[in-house]
Chain A
Amino acid sequence: MKSIRQIFGGDLRQFGMIFALIILTLFFQWRTEGRTLTSFNLQNLISGNAYVLILAIGMVLVIIAGHIDLSVGSVAAFVGIVVALTMRDWNLPWYVGVLVGLVLGALIGAWQGFWVAFVGIPAFIVTLAGMLLFRGANQYFGHSNTVPVSKDFQFLGAGYLPEVGPDTGFNNLTLLLGLLLVAAVVWGEIRARRTAAKFGMDTVPLWVSVVKVVLIGAVVLYATYLFATGRPGTSFPVPGIILGALVLIYGFISAKTVIGRHIYAVGGNRHAAELSGVQSKKVNFLVIMNMSILAGLAGMIFVARSTGSGPSDGVGWELDAIAAVFIGGAAVSGGVGTVVGSMIGGLVMAMLNNGLQLLSVGADLTQIIKGLVLLAAVAIDVYNKTQGRPSLIGLMTRNFGGRNKPPAPETTADVLPNTTTEVIKQDS
């Protein structure tokens, strides 16, 4: 079991969800008699869920910082309608439309961030107000009508990587993308091993690395194959490209930069962060503002895919995004969560939706199942925390992993001085 953990980078919760995603995929592949893992279905899955996953990227940062954003659906809808209207009425090209949308998202975010960070109103309230405000604004400006967008713009939501180069029977760009990704995985593993060796950290056995790279590589190549061999004119969807780029950027920001560290610090213990020199107001402002920018982007992608902006776009999106984040391992109290985890959480929800749809399960039952999955994922996490156990997979492997468990770290002593602190506090 330890080796399996090492393969998946030791993050048990995340591994648990990856595991669940794989099981889920295989289950549906079996029940739908092969209709799940097809080019067509995967392309749909990606382009049909990209906007929720983009929201989840922003939402996980908001939740790590200890807030919540309920306004994302309305903000997405409002940005969508404004972009559709300006492009139609002022004849703007698609890229100017995108720019308008991003700037508007930033302005909305600055508005909400101001109230949360500098006035100190809880984000729940500010964004609840925003939810009403921007929903109303969408319907006010759009007169509750659907406003169509141009073909150029639709490329953002419904387009595919174009065909270039020689006829190989595959989509060349998709193929290239897949190969690059495999190369990146291999390179990343080699680099991780080198640094670990250089600094004398524990290195995982070579075979573990090899197995890890081979497994991930196989999955990536299989997906590449499916995406590259779809109906003529289709390949890897454009929203998927945008999503992938954002995951890379935000994954990097959250894990490797100062602002990323500060977001975790503020969510983990705001007072301690402030006394360490973190400007928590600035962090909160940026996180909330960023969320609205991404909501604007998600709104535009949705509009592009559905060929027009409507009055009820984005209803309930905030809940999908929040669910994805929590299934992906974030903590309600803040300080915990990862971008990649949220993507996996979002994909679990997407796969559930998709599979149940293919099985012709009604929307009623689908919602019931999704609700239960969300509750179960978080319940297991909460339970494990109160038990001092790490997570889902810890639970699953508890009964048969006992023999070769790593030696418990020397932590028994901590009961003692902690109590001492309390005794002294009580006496003060």
Chain B
Amino acid sequence: MASTHPVILEMRSITKEFPGVKALSDVSLTVRADEIHAICGENGAGKSTLMKVLSGVYPYGTYDGEIVYQGQVCEFKDIRASEASGIVIIHQELALIPELSITENIFLGNEPTRFGIINWNEARQRTLELLARVGLSDDPDTPVKEIGVGKQQLVEIAKALNKSVRLLILDEPTAALNESDSQHLLDLIRGLKGKGISSIMISHKLNEIEAVADSITIIRDGKTIETLNVAADGVDEDRIIKGMVGRTLESRFPDHEPKIGEVFFEVKDWTVGHPQVADRLVCKGSAFNVRRGEIVGFAGLMGAGRTELARSIFGRSYGRYISGQIIKDGKEVTLRNVPQAIDAGLGYVTEDRKSLGLNLLDDIKATTVSAALHKITHNFVVSEEEEYAVAEDYRKQLRTKTPSVDEGVAKLSGGNQQKVVLAKWMFTDPDLLILDEPTRGIDVGAKYEIYGIIQRLANQGKGVIVISSELPELLGLSDRIYTIFEGSVTGVLPKGEASQESLMKLMTAKKKTA
């Protein structure tokens, strides 16, 4: 049915390389008029990169392959060029300015002027029409910060309509929306389809894709895997998951014989509020436990609340604590701030090494000791000799590649930076180490070494929590895996029972039973 419509966009053999990394390799995508085309893939598969190529964020010349749009080969040099031809992208992080009104936002960069003076009356009039088209009845003068995320998303679409959009790209449009707002948005997209506007939609919510998409292109590791026609192929969620995770598990993990002891760390009824939004919860009654010597995986999609859970436990360094208990070694502990958490034997390695994990001005030795300065401080003096000795010791243990520990951490590669961060936390001698995306941005060889370090830590009787978006990594490394969805723990699977499919189901669906 959908296949009878004319093709409006064809991306042929798109290859995009970043220095040393092939983000997209020979990806093709065909979008027809009057269809909603979903792009599915795991985190890091290359979906957003592909959309950035299409919308001119990566200008013509920085990628190989060609884009044919409405019968013409396009060479977009920036976003303006793609918008001029009717391709508009709406990013996951909305590009609205909170202090400005709806009208001002819709016409930002596109103001109707006469002799250089903005005609606000005309702008306001047109805003009213646009808002009607997306089903909003708010006053166009309302500042955007005063309307909810769901309505903000609609304002973004109104803004796109104002640019006479023909092809709308939506990157995770419903990620931040609740059920009814999502439904409204999806209805709107479906309605636009009938009015000659096609959409490309990136989403992790497979049920939504199943519901609205006409065709689905699956991308994995920067390659097109397949394009499915939803109606003709009888596609359901399981089918999509199979396509997304279909790769074979290679043995990329050091051999490891776990020595698991008793439960020593337990979290109960953990509920945390969003730091800025008053009534939004990022963790909802989560509960889990960790045994000595155990590597526990946390699986969940981006935005599911894994990091929020970890950081709120780590000395309430994220969000507003609402309720919950932490029981360590049989005793309830209250960790109000990071120093208390460190004292209680917790360590947390952040997913965002550069902005949260490292002081890029520091050298290796200063970073190594920075979370446990008291250990090398005697009579108020930080011993530089011991600092050097400690850093050297970890450099050798972890085989960090660096000319010397006096080197700045900014100069190290991602893998070596991560080793320095691990050294920093190992030096605090934690009982429980939480690793948030420990191998993000790290090449395969270094990953193997990091896995080895994690296993050694577990062998020493420490509990290790690994948060990862890469399911093969979790399956290869963890002794037990918890799944998290929308701030709640939705299940736990021991190593033998977990598979990518079973995890993906728990990660994308709400808890069905209590």
Give residues in A with beta carbon < 8 Å to B. Answer: 195, 198-199, 201-202, 256-258, 260-261, 264-265, 268-269, 271-279, 335-336, 409-411, 413-424, 426-428
Contacts and interface: CB of A to CB of B under 8 A. Distances in A.
Contacts of A413: 413
A274 B311 CA distance: 12
B46 A274 contact: no
B317 A274 contact: yes
Contacts of B302: 428
A202 B338 CA distance: 36
Interface stretch (B153-161, B209-217, B358-366): B358-366
Contacts of A420: 18, 20-21, 414, 441-443
Contact of A424 (B44, B358, B403): B44
- Interface residues of B toward A: which range? 35 or more
Contacts of B44: 423-424, 427-428
A415 B46 contact: no
B370 A265 contact: yes
Contacts of A272: 350, 355-359
B443 A257 contact: no
The CB with the most chain B CB atoms within 10 A, among A256, A277, A335, A424, is that of A277
Nearest to B172: A428
A48 to B, nearest CB: 34
Given A258-B382, A275-B350, A428-B43, A417 B414 contact: yes
A338 to B, nearest CB: 13
A418 B353 CA distance: 10
Top-6 shortest CB links A-B: A421-B441, A417-B414, A416-B20, A268-B359, A419-B18, A276-B371
A269 B354 CA distance: 9
Interface stretch (B105-113, B262-270, B372-380): B372-380
Contact of A421 (B46, B354, B411, B424): B354
Interface stretch (B47-55, B61-69, B319-327): B47-55
Nearest to A423: B23
B497 interface: no
A359 B404 CA distance: 49
Contact of A419 (B19, B43, B442): B19
Given A276-B370, A416-B443, A423 B18 contact: yes
A258 B377 contact: yes
A201 B388 contact: yes
16 contacts: A195-B384, A265-B362, A268-B361, A272-B357, A274-B317, A276-B424, A277-B315, A277-B371, A414-B413, A416-B20, A418-B414, A420-B441, A421-B441, A423-B49, A424-B440, A426-B49
A268 B48 contact: no
B57 to A, nearest CB: 9
A427 B415 contact: no
The CB with the most chain B CB atoms within 10 A, among A201, A269, A420, is that of A420
B339 A418 contact: no
Interface string B28-54: 000000000000000111111100100
Interface string B405-436: 01100011111000000001000000000000
Interface of chain A, main secondary structure: helix
Interface string B318-360: 0000000000000000000111011000001010011111111
Contacts of A415: 19-20
A265 B48 contact: no
B257 interface: no
Nearest to A201: B388
Contacts of A423: 18, 21, 23, 44, 46, 49
A273 B302 CA distance: 25
Contact of B380 (A257, A417, A421): A257
B278 interface: no
Contacts of A335: 359, 361
Interface string B196-212: 00000000000000000
Contacts of B446: 417
Given A256-B381, A427-B47, A275 B361 contact: no
Contacts, number: 153
B436 to A, nearest CB: 11
Contacts of A261: 366, 370, 373, 382
Nearest to B52: A426
A166 to B, nearest CB: 38
A411 B269 CA distance: 46
Nearest to A273: B359
A265 B366 CA distance: 10
Interface of B: 18-21, 23, 43-49, 52, 302, 314-315, 317, 337-339, 341-342, 348, 350, 353-362, 366, 370-371, 373-374, 377, 380-382, 384-385, 388-389, 392, 401-404, 406-407, 411-415, 424, 440-443, 446, 469
Given A268-B362, A424-B43, A279 B339 contact: yes
Nearest to B24: A423
A277 B403 contact: no
A416 B21 contact: yes
Contacts of A276: 338, 370-371, 424
A423 B48 CA distance: 9
Given A271-B356, A427-B44, 7 more contacts: A195-B384, A256-B381, A260-B382, A279-B337, A418-B441, A420-B20, A421-B440
Contacts of A427: 43-49
A258 B374 CA distance: 8
B443 A417 contact: yes
A261 B369 CA distance: 10
Contacts of A201: 388, 404, 406
Nearest to B437: A424
A257 to B, nearest CB: 5
B19 A416 contact: yes
A199 B388 contact: yes
A198 B392 CA distance: 13
A279 B424 CA distance: 17
A427 B21 CA distance: 14
A409 B403 contact: yes
A14 B407 CA distance: 18
Given A272-B356, A275-B356, A421-B414, A199 B389 contact: yes
A11 to B, nearest CB: 12
A348 B240 CA distance: 69
A417 B413 contact: yes
Nearest to B318: A275
Contact of A422 (B18, B315, B424): B18
Contacts of B43: 424, 427-428
A116 B18 CA distance: 42
Nearest to A258: B373
Contact of A257 (B23, B353, B381): B381
A428 B356 CA distance: 18
Nearest to A199: B388
A234 to B, nearest CB: 37
B358 A269 contact: yes
A211 to B, nearest CB: 22
A268 B384 CA distance: 20
B165 to A, nearest CB: 22
B402 to A, nearest CB: 8
A411 B377 CA distance: 32
A192 to B, nearest CB: 10
A414 B370 contact: no
A271 to B, nearest CB: 5
B356 A256 contact: no
A199 B386 CA distance: 9
B164 to A, nearest CB: 27
A299 to B, nearest CB: 29
Contacts of A422: 18, 441
Contacts of A275: 314, 317, 338, 348, 350, 356-357
